[in-house]
Each structure stands twice: as C-alpha cells, then as structure tokens.
Chain A
Amino acid sequence: MLTRRPLVRHLVLLGSLAILALPVRGQEKTRGPARIISLVPAVTEMLFAIGAGPRVIGVSSFDHFPPDVERLERVGALLDPNVERILALRPDLVVVYRSQTDLIAQLGRAQIPTFVYAHAGLADITSTLRDVGARAGAAERAGTLAAIIERRIGVLRKRFATGPRPKTLVVIGRDAFALRGIYASGGVGFIHDMIVAAGGDNVFADTKREAVQATSELIIARAPEIILELRGDPIDEATQRKEVQTWDTLASLPAVRNKRVRIIADARTVIPGPRVVEAVELLAGVLHKP
C-alpha cells in the first residue's frame, strides 16, 4: 500500500498541472488554430484569402489553388480521406465535408476540432467564409473579404437586372465527343446562382435539384440560346473545337444555330470559393458578349 503513494501523489500533481495549463490553451484558441488541414478546396482558397494560408499544413488531393498548396501534404479527399496521415500531421483544425461522418467521428475521438463544410448556394459562400474566418481566428479579414465579394456580386446583379437574359444551358458533365450522359445544373446550387447573378436564365431553373440528367429531348424542348460547358480541368484547343462541334447534332437549338456554345475550362467556375466573384464576371462576359 505504502509503495503506491508516490505514484498517486504524482498523478495528483500532474492533474493539477493540467488544470493550470488549460487557460493557456484557451488563450491560444482565441488566436486560432496553428495547424489546419483542409479537405475542401473551396475552404482552402478561403483560408489563403484571409491570410491563414501559412497555418495550412495539409490539403486534399484535388487542391491546386493557390499555387502554394502544391508543396503541402496531401491527405486524400471526399471519398478517401487518409485518417492516419491526418492524425500524424497533428492538426488542431480539420475542414471536412458534412457527408464525411466516419471521419468526423474518428477526429472527434481523437479530440481534434473539425469545421464541417456544407455545399450550398452562392449566398452561402460568403457566410461560409465568415464562419471559416471566425474559426481560423481571422474573423475581421474574412468579414471584409466577404463584404467585398457580396458588393461586387451585387453590382453585377444590378447591372444585369434589366436587359436581355439569355436562356442558358449549363452543362457540368457529359461523355466525351457525344451528347450522352449530359448533366446540367438544375435550379439549386451555386452554379445556378452564378448564372442568375451573371444575367442568364437557367433553362432548368424549375428543377429543384443541383444536377439534372438532361436527355436530348429535354434539351431540344428547353431550346437554350446559349450553352456553357463548365470544366475544372484545362483542355487543348483542338479538343475544345471538337467538343463544341459535337453539339451540331442538335441543329435546332438556338445556341447551336447562333454558334453560342462555349466550353469554359476554368477552375474558378466550379469551386465555390472566394474567386467565385471572378467566375460570375467571367460568365457575365460570355453571356452578354454581343
């Protein structure tokens, strides 16, 4: 019995030290996390935009912007997060998708705080930005940036509120060189919101889902005046020309007849991050080019 006493005493001592240490950790928290991992490219962009970039230590395998991320550790992505590598990096904040419930549970057991990202509309981008700022200890800069983005989008909205609104088909995916397996933006989500802000009328605005599988019949029936194909990865000019020509099969479409099929291979149009305002400007330029 007696021999155990020193051990107990040590434990008590350690415990009180830990209690003493807590307030110190609390103070650190107000300055924000120092080791951030982001599995969400849009949030990675936000972190860098509000000056928290130097504190990001790991990103997803789909992150390519800003260029600084190329030298960071990759920790998987939406479907294949590498929990082991995430834990090994000893993060104090991990940005995850809402659907990554297993990962969230595992990080919770490891007592690593998470920021749960939910994919939604254009207006949610700035609110996410503010939330990210608050969590990353850069609330002020995030607020300023969010206000700038909102103002710039507001300006665009106002500019295109009156005047012609071309009926737009926004293709977000299809088979190569064929009008098969076409997925278009429905009337929900940030891509739809971007088109509206840029002064276009989404032909599938009435479908309350983010993506619609658009058959050729549906597309002919909706008669888009302009077709925009958004792609995240760059494509070469020859392929681009061929892909535009693929639409010639549907010759009755006003967009095809007036040669207004555009392939926009620009990551900004598919990542709901702080560059979204540039994307809206880009889309507005294409939609309203005489």
Chain B
Amino acid sequence: MRSIRTRILTAVLTFGGGALLTILVAPLIGSTPISLRRAFDWSVPFADNPDAQIFFIARLPRTLAGALVGSTLASAGVVFQGLLRNPLATPFTLGVSAGAALGAMLAITFAPTLALAGIPAGPLASFAGSLIAVGVVYLLASARHRGLSTNTLLLAGVTMNAFFSALILFVQYFADFTDTFRILRWLMGDLDVSSYTPLVSTLPLVIVSFAAFVWLARPLNLLSLGPDAAESRGLDVVGAQRVAFVSASLATGAAVSVGGPVGFIGIIVPHLVRLMVGADHRVVLPASALFGAAFLVACDVVSRTVMAPLELPVGIITALIGGPFFLWLLVRRR
C-alpha cells in the first residue's frame, strides 16, 4: 500500500485535473456557437460584445455554480454517510432539502417581491428553511442523549422530510398554479444563475464548511469503527459529530440556495469515488469534492445542449446519467 500522502496527492491531481479540464471546456460548449477570439477581445466594449456576454454572463457563472454545488453536495454526502454510518445517507436525508423547498415555496407564494441586501427572497428563504429543518433535527437528536444519537438523527430527519413535504403540498394547494409550477421546476435544480452574486454570497459559507471537512477526514475514519472504538482512540466523538452535522448542513443549505436540490450527486459521487480510491476519508473527501464538481458541470453541459435550444432540468440529467452508471459500476466490480 502506498503511503497516505501519495494517495491523497494522486487523487487530488487526477480528480483535480479532471475537474479543471471539465470546468475549462464546459463554457466553450453551448446552444449558441460563439467565437472565443471575439469573447476575449478586450478592445470591443463589453456591452457591445455578445460573445463575451454569453461567455462571461451566461456560461461561466453557470459552470462555476455547477462546480460549487457539485463539490459541496458530493462532499457533504461523504460527511453525512460517515456521520450517520449509513451508506444510503444523502445531504438531503436530514430534511435540508425539504426545509429549503418549503422556504423557497413560501417566498415564491407569499413574498415574491421581497429582497434583502440585493439578494432575492427565494434563495434567502430556502437557506433559512434548510437551517430551521436541520436545527429542529439537531435539537431532537441531542435532546435525550449526551451528544447525537445517529438513529434519532436519521428518524428525525426522515420524519422532518415527510412533515415538510406535507407542508409544501399544503401551501401548494392554496397557491396559484404558476407558482406551483415554479416550485416544481425549482425542485428539479437549475444552475442558470446568470450573475456571480449567488456564488459570491454563498462562497464564505462553503469555504468554512470545506475547512471543517478537511479537519473531519480523520475523525470520520475513526467514527467508521463505531463511536465506542473511536472514543477509545481519543476522539471527542460528540464534538466531531457536531462539527460534521453543522458544517455539512450549512454547506448543503448554501448549495441548495444556489442550484436547488439537485438530486443524486450526494449519493452517487461518494460511492463512485469509494469504488475508485477506497474508503479512507482523507482521500475520499477531496476526491469527491473534485469529482462532484466535474460531474455536475458535465451534467449541466448535457442539460443545456442535448435538446437545445430547449433545456432539460439538470436534476433529471444527474439521475438519468448517474443511476445507470452507478449500477454498471456496482455490477462490474463484483
């Protein structure tokens, strides 16, 4: 077995190279042919240069949003699977996406014209909704235990998901059907952010969470042995669980507020990566973040070109591509 350093380095270089390549190539592809020379011709004023506008306003923010959302959801998936010690956990298992969806729905239905500090109500409310959902789950799971009971976390999360979904249906029933359609479309995921503002405003949160993920790699390895074994090896289990829960929830909430609850990334990418690099979180976490970025950016390219000029919701593509690919890998590896 090679040393862990070499393995991390190899993984970061391989997956990083792939991610970088995808991110560089993605803005070159789209429904409209553009001339790169014109796009980067600074002598033409930006306002008079549609090629540059397509590149810098339509495609680049979208690609970056895909990278941000993809890497966040994939690595949050790894953290949740490690925290809950359950391979079926996703970033949305503990109610984040349902809370976010309820927030977005309320904003779309009742406060469509509200905005705070230039950020429209939709993303703000979806972020707030996700925080409320995970906050409730956290309180429930820590109420009667020292630390977090992963079983209670899971059950509370699943129940919150169902409860929020019911609330969503309840609000939807009284909403205008164009609003209903909007929320449905929101649930399918959409990366066409058409400005850098959503990215910039969520970046600090994502950076903080990623810093926590770096620290979490070893604790998650220990946790995979079981809380007692981890404790006996000197890990502050409760502390690690808290950091994992809070950072992964924040990151997921931020990602969902940018691109909606894009499905499948958070479960498929971690498993694909594990099949390729093994189960050590020190390798799986960075590799998943990078592979998640590449995967979602690539799916978004497909979603905006395959039926051009019509666009398919990216969440449909991630599931359509991710599902069969995952099954194929699963069968092949046996």
Contact of B311 with A by CB under 8 A: yes
Residue of B48, B114, B180, B309 near A218 (CB, 8 A) is B309
CA distance A223 to B185 in the complex (A): 25
A207-B310, A215-B311, A221-B50 known; 6 new pairs, CB 8 Å cut-off, are: A173-B178, A180-B192, A213-B311, A218-B309, A251-B46, A252-B47
Contact of B154 with A by CB under 8 A: no
In the bound complex, residues from chain B placing their C-beta under 8 Å from that of A215 are: 31, 58, 192, 194, 304, 311
Q: Could you give, for residues 70-113 of chain A, a 1 whenever the CB lies within 8 Å of some chain B CB and a 0 otherwise?
A: 00000001111000000000000000000000000000000000
CA distance A213 to B307 in the complex (A): 12
Q: Could you give, for residues 299-313 of chain B, a 1 whenever the CB lies within 8 Å of some chain A CB and a 0 otherwise?
A: 000001000011100
In the bound complex, residues from chain B placing their C-beta under 8 Å from that of A216 are: 57-58, 192, 194
Residue of A176, A213, A217, A257 near B112 (CB, 8 A) is A176
Known contacts A176-B112, A213-B311, A249-B194; decide if A220 and B54 are in contact (CB<8 Å): yes
Contact of B173 with A by CB under 8 A: yes
Contact of A178 with B by CB under 8 A: yes
Q: Could you give, for residues 190-227 of chain B, a 1 whenever the CB lies within 8 Å of some chain A CB and a 0 otherwise?
A: 10111100000000000000000000000000000000
Measured CB to CB, the residues of B under 8 A from A are: 30-32, 46-50, 52-54, 57-59, 108, 112-115, 120-122, 173, 177-178, 180, 182, 185-186, 190, 192-195, 304, 309-311
Instruction: Find residues 204-231 in chain A having any chain B CB closer than 8 Å to their own CB.
Output: 207, 209, 212-213, 215-218, 220-221, 223
Residue of A173, A218, A242 near B32 (CB, 8 A) is A218
Chain A residue nearest to B57 in the complex (CB): A216
In the bound complex, residues from chain B placing their C-beta under 8 Å from that of A134 are: none
- Whether A176 and B50, one on each chain, are in contact in the complex, defined by CB atoms closer than 8 angstroms, is no
- Whether A217 and B46, one on each chain, are in contact in the complex, defined by CB atoms closer than 8 angstroms, is no
Q: Could you give, for residues 165-187 of chain A, a 1 whenever the CB lies within 8 Å of some chain B CB and a 0 otherwise?
A: 00000000101111111000000
- Whether B50 and A252, one on each chain, are in contact in the complex, defined by CB atoms closer than 8 angstroms, is yes
- Whether B304 and A175, one on each chain, are in contact in the complex, defined by CB atoms closer than 8 angstroms, is no
- Whether B32 and A175, one on each chain, are in contact in the complex, defined by CB atoms closer than 8 angstroms, is no
Our count of residue pairs bridging A and B at CB distance below 8 angstroms stands at 94
CA distance A221 to B58 in the complex (A): 10
CA distance A212 to B131 in the complex (A): 34
- Whether B193 and A220, one on each chain, are in contact in the complex, defined by CB atoms closer than 8 angstroms, is no
CA distance A107 to B173 in the complex (A): 23
Known contacts A78-B177, A215-B304, A217-B59; decide if A180 and B193 are in contact (CB<8 Å): yes
In the bound complex, residues from chain A placing their C-beta under 8 Å from that of B113 are: 176-177, 235, 239
Residue of B50, B120, B173, B309 near A223 (CB, 8 A) is B50
- Whether B173 and A80, one on each chain, are in contact in the complex, defined by CB atoms closer than 8 angstroms, is yes
In the bound complex, residues from chain B placing their C-beta under 8 Å from that of A217 are: 30-32, 54, 58-59, 304
CA distance A223 to B52 in the complex (A): 13
Contact of A250 with B by CB under 8 A: yes
- Whether B309 and A212, one on each chain, are in contact in the complex, defined by CB atoms closer than 8 angstroms, is yes
- Whether A221 and B32, one on each chain, are in contact in the complex, defined by CB atoms closer than 8 angstroms, is yes
Chain A residue nearest to B179 in the complex (CB): A173
11 A-B residue pairings within 8 Å (CB atoms): A77-B177, A177-B113, A178-B194, A179-B194, A207-B310, A217-B58, A217-B304, A242-B115, A249-B194, A252-B46, A252-B52
Is chain A's interface secondary structure helix, strand, loop, or mixed overall?
loop
Interface size class of A (residues with CB under 8 A): 20 to 34
In the complex, what's the smallest C-beta–C-beta distance from A140 to chain B, in angstroms?
A: 36
Chain A residue nearest to B196 in the complex (CB): A249
In the bound complex, residues from chain A placing their C-beta under 8 Å from that of B310 are: 207, 209, 212-213
CA distance A221 to B55 in the complex (A): 11
Residue of B54, B108, B186 near A221 (CB, 8 A) is B54
In the complex, what's the smallest C-beta–C-beta distance from B274 to chain A, in angstroms?
A: 34
- Whether B311 and A181, one on each chain, are in contact in the complex, defined by CB atoms closer than 8 angstroms, is no
- Whether B54 and A249, one on each chain, are in contact in the complex, defined by CB atoms closer than 8 angstroms, is no
Which 10 A-B residue pairings sit nearest by Cβ, starting from the closest? A217-B58, A221-B32, A216-B194, A216-B58, A252-B53, A251-B47, A177-B120, A179-B194, A176-B112, A215-B192
CA distance A220 to B32 in the complex (A): 9
- Whether B31 and A218, one on each chain, are in contact in the complex, defined by CB atoms closer than 8 angstroms, is yes
Residue of A207, A239, A252 near B309 (CB, 8 A) is A207
Chain B residue nearest to A204 in the complex (CB): B309
In the bound complex, residues from chain B placing their C-beta under 8 Å from that of A175 are: 108, 120, 122, 182
In the complex, what's the smallest C-beta–C-beta distance from A170 to chain B, in angstroms?
A: 15
In the complex, what's the smallest C-beta–C-beta distance from A77 to chain B, in angstroms?
A: 8
Known contacts A176-B113, A217-B31; decide if A181 and B190 are in contact (CB<8 Å): yes
Chain B residue nearest to A235 in the complex (CB): B113
In the bound complex, residues from chain A placing their C-beta under 8 Å from that of B47 are: 251-252, 257
Residue of A177, A220, A223 near B115 (CB, 8 A) is A177
- Whether B50 and A180, one on each chain, are in contact in the complex, defined by CB atoms closer than 8 angstroms, is no
- Whether B195 and A249, one on each chain, are in contact in the complex, defined by CB atoms closer than 8 angstroms, is yes
- Whether A221 and B31, one on each chain, are in contact in the complex, defined by CB atoms closer than 8 angstroms, is yes
In the complex, what's the smallest C-beta–C-beta distance from B62 to chain A, in angstroms?
A: 8
CA distance A239 to B121 in the complex (A): 14
Known contacts A178-B120, A221-B31; decide if A250 and B53 are in contact (CB<8 Å): yes
- Whether B195 and A179, one on each chain, are in contact in the complex, defined by CB atoms closer than 8 angstroms, is yes
CA distance A179 to B62 in the complex (A): 13
Instruction: Find residues 257-274 in chain A having any chain B CB closer than 8 Å to their own CB.
Output: 257
Chain B residue nearest to A239 in the complex (CB): B113
- Whether A176 and B120, one on each chain, are in contact in the complex, defined by CB atoms closer than 8 angstroms, is yes
In the complex, what's the smallest C-beta–C-beta distance from A62 to chain B, in angstroms?
A: 8
CA distance A239 to B194 in the complex (A): 20
In the complex, what's the smallest C-beta–C-beta distance from B111 to chain A, in angstroms?
A: 9
In the bound complex, residues from chain B placing their C-beta under 8 Å from that of A251 are: 46-47, 53
Known contacts A79-B177, A176-B121; decide if A220 and B31 are in contact (CB<8 Å): no
